Amino acid sequence: MTVLIFLGSLIGAMMLGIPIAYALLASGVALMWHLDLFDAQILAQNFINGADSFPLLAVPFFMLAGEIMNVGGLSQRIVNFALALVGHVKGGLGYVVILAACLLSALSGSAVADAAALTALLLPMMVKAGHKKEVSGGLIAASGVIGPIIPPSIGFVIFGVTANVSISKLFIAGIFPGIMIAVGLALTWWWVGRKEQLVLPEKKTRAEVWKAARESVWALLLPVFILVGLRMGVFTPTEAAVVAAVYSLFVASVIYRELPLKALYPIFATAAKTTAVVMFLVAAAMVSSWLITVANLPAQMVQLLKPFMDNQTLLLIAIMVLVMLVGTAMDMTPTILIMTPVLMPVIKAAGIDPVYFGVLFIINNSIGLITPPVGTVLNVVAGVGRMKMDEVTRGVLPFMAAQFIVMFIMVLFPQTVLAPLRWFY
C-alpha cells in the first residue's frame, strides 16, 4: 500500500504537468499523511538538509566550467584537433564526433552541453559532406551520452552523494566503460555509413595536425590535471570542480583571449540557473528519500527481488531493465535521486560492488537521455540542429541499441569495470 501511495502520487502529479521537483515534494507529503507523520518543520528541515552537502558543490562548478569551455573556445579547439586527426578518412566526421565527445566529456561532464556544442559545430559539416542529417543528428545525440560517464561527471557526483559511495572511485571506474561505449558507437557508425557516397575533407598535413594539437593542448591538459589530482589525493572531486572552472576561465580569457569581460555575466547566470534547477531537485528528492527509509520501502524492494538474490547477474539484468523503462519517461537527475535510495539496499544485500553498480546505473540513466519520448539530449540536438524530433529519434535508434548492448556486456562481465578500477587503485 505504501509503495502504491508513493508511486501513485508521484506519477499522478507528473501526469498533471507538475514539475518533477514539486511532484517529488507532493509524493513526500502524501507519504507523510499516510504514515501519520505530517509535520511542516520536518518537511522543511529535510528539504534544506538535502541541498546542504559539500560534495554537491561540484555541480555548479562543473556546470560553470562547461559553459566557459563552450563560449571560450576550448570546445572549438578540441573539435579542430579531432578533425585534424581523423576527419579525412571515410566517415571521418562521425569518428570526429565520437572522439570530440570523449574529449569534451573529460572537461564538462554534461551530456546536454556536449551535445549542443557538437551539434552546432559538426552537424552542418556532416550534412555538407553527404551524411544523412537524421543519422548525423542521432550519432551526435548518442555521443553526447558519453558526457556523464567519462569523468568528471555530474551524474556520478549526485549518485555518490545519494548512495554514500566514493565519488573518486566512481570517476576512475567510469573511464574504461566510457571508452567501450565510444568504440561501440564507432563500430555502429561504420556499419550504418559503409555504403554512403561522401565528399571527404582533405587530409591535413603533419604541420596542420601539429598546429591543431598545439592549440588544443591547454584544453586537453585539464582532464589530465583532474585525474592525476584525484589519483594522487591532491584534491577531492568537489575541489576538482573548482580547479576545472578556474582553469577553464584562465585559459579562455588569458591564453585563448576569446572570453571578453562582458560575456562573464551571461555565463555565470546560465550556470546558476541550471544549478538552481538541479539543487532544487536534489533537495526535494531528499524529502522523499527520508520518507522512503522511514516507510521501510527498501526492505519491501529486497523482498520483491528476493528470487533474483542468489544470482547477481539476473538481479542486475532485472534492475537494468527497470531503469531502462523509467528512463523513457523521466530525466536523469530525478531518476538517480528517486531510485538510488530504493535500489542501494538491494545491491548491498546481494553483495554487489556499489561502485560497479553505480557505473552501470549512471550508464543506463545516461542512455535514458536519448530514449523517447522524454529524451532531453534528443530535444537539444533537434533544437540546435533545426530538425524534427522524429527525425533525430529515427537516427539515434541504431546507436542507442549499440549502447545498451555494451551496457549488458558489462553486466555479464563485471571485470570490464572492476579490473581497470583495481588497476588504477
| pLDDT tens digits, 184-211 | 999 999 898 776 666 666 777 888 888 8
Biggest distance spanned by C-alpha atoms of the chain: 73
The confidence band for 363, taking pLDDT boundaries of 50, 70 and 90, is very high
pLDDT digits (tens, 9 = 90+) for 64-104: 887 888 788 787 788 888 878 776 777 778 888 888 888 87
**Once rounded to an integer, what is the mean pLDDT over residues 391-397?**
90
pLDDT of residue 198: 64
The confidence band for 139, taking pLDDT boundaries of 50, 70 and 90, is very high
148, 107 in Cβ contact below 8 A?
no
Q: What share of the chain is helix, strand, coil (3-state, %, to 5)?
A: 80, 0, 20
Between 23 and 2, the higher pLDDT residue: 23
DSSP 121-171: HHHHHHHHHT--HHHHHHHHHHHHTTTTTSSS-HHHHHHHHHHT--HHHHH
Residue 149 pLDDT > 80 = yes
Tell me the residue length of the chain.
425
The confidence band for 297, taking pLDDT boundaries of 50, 70 and 90, is low
Between 95 and 53, the higher pLDDT residue: 95
CA dist., res. 202 & res. 213, Å (int): 18
Residue 358 pLDDT > 70 = yes
Between 327 and 314, the higher pLDDT residue: 314
pLDDT of residue 360: 95
pLDDT of residue 187: 94
DSSP 413: -
**Once rounded to an integer, what is the mean pLDDT over residues 356-374?**
88
pLDDT of residue 199: 62
pLDDT digits (tens, 9 = 90+) for 404-419: 999 999 999 999 998 8
pLDDT digits (tens, 9 = 90+) for 223-247: 788 878 877 778 787 888 888 889 8
pLDDT of residue 362: 94
391, 134 in Cβ contact below 8 A?
yes
Beta carbons within 10 angstroms of residue 264's beta carbon? 15
Residue 282 pLDDT > 90 = no
The confidence band for 302, taking pLDDT boundaries of 50, 70 and 90, is low
Domain edges within the chain: 39-424
> Mean pLDDT for the chain?
82
Beta carbons within 10 angstroms of residue 72's beta carbon? 25
With vertex at residue 118, the alpha carbon angle to CA 113 and CA 123, rounded to the nearest 5 degrees, is 140
DSSP 5-38: HHHHHHHHHHHTT--HHHHHHHHHHHHHHHTT--
Residue 325 has which C-alpha cell? 523503462
pLDDT of residue 296: 67
pLDDT of residue 419: 87
98-102, 127-131, 139-143, 250-254: least confidently modelled range: 127-131
pLDDT of residue 374: 65
Name which of 122, 109, 198, 118 is nearest 156 in CA terms: 109
CA dist., res. 111 & res. 115, Å (int): 6
Name which of 407, 331, 413 is nearest 375 in CA terms: 331
pLDDT of residue 403: 95
Share of the chain above pLDDT 90, in %: 17
CA dist., res. 255 & res. 272, Å (int): 25
Residue 39 has which C-alpha cell? 509535520
CA dist., res. 61 & res. 175, Å (int): 21
pLDDT of residue 355: 94
pLDDT of residue 201: 67
pLDDT of residue 109: 64
CA dist., res. 123 & res. 192, Å (int): 17
CA dist., res. 135 & res. 122, Å (int): 13
pLDDT of residue 72: 81
**Amino acid (one-letter) located at 328:** T
